[in-house]
Amino acid sequence: MKLLIVDDSVVIRRAIERTMKSQFFESIQTAQNGALALKIFKNSPIDVVTMDITMPEMDGLTCIESMIKIKPSTRILVITALADKGTAVEAVKRGAQGFLLKPFTEDDVNEALNDLLEDL
């Protein structure tokens, strides 16, 4: 499986990437905003995405909707600081299957990814 990590924070991208290197992904790519993520997504066979919401150029919710239209089987885990229930509901409506609130630990990310992929 191929993973795409989308977050405008380089610290967060690197933290998730470090955690995911111990997982079973064939490749890991990163993007700093939704627009760049969508460009990568269109040109690479991405299976799993971790997606921030608040980003410049294109926000995560818009990006999720576009990705799901292109490839409905994509597994998307939202990782965001936005702690209101409305954001989680909206992310699921757009096609995300998982939701993890920042701040997070390495264990939190592993658990959320395992839940996201358990029925594959």
Q: How far is the CB of 78 from another protein (least distance, A)?
A: 12
Candidates 49, 47, 26; CA nearest to 37 is 49
**Which of 68, 100, 101, 117 touches another protein by CB under 8 A?**
101
Choice between 46 and 61, CB closer to another protein: 61
At 71, the amino acid letter reads K
Which run of H or of E encompasses 51?
Answer: strand 48-51
Does 22 participate in binding another protein (rule CB under 8 A)?
A: no
Cis peptide before 103 (omega within 30 of 0): yes
Query: Of 33 and 74, which has the nearer Cβ to another protein?
Result: 33
Q: Which of 21, 43, 103, 120 binds another protein (CB under 8 A)?
A: 103
Positions 79 through 98 that interact with another protein (CB under 8 A): 80-84, 86-87
List Cβ neighbours of 88 (8 Å cut-off, separation of 6 or more). 78, 99
- Whole-angstrom Cα distance, residue 7 to residue 13? 6
Q: By three-state DSSP, how is residue 63 classified?
A: helix
Q: How far is the CB of 25 from another protein (least distance, A)?
A: 18
Under the rule (CB under 8 A), what is the footprint of another protein? Answer: 8-12, 14-15, 18, 54-56, 80-84, 86-87, 101-106
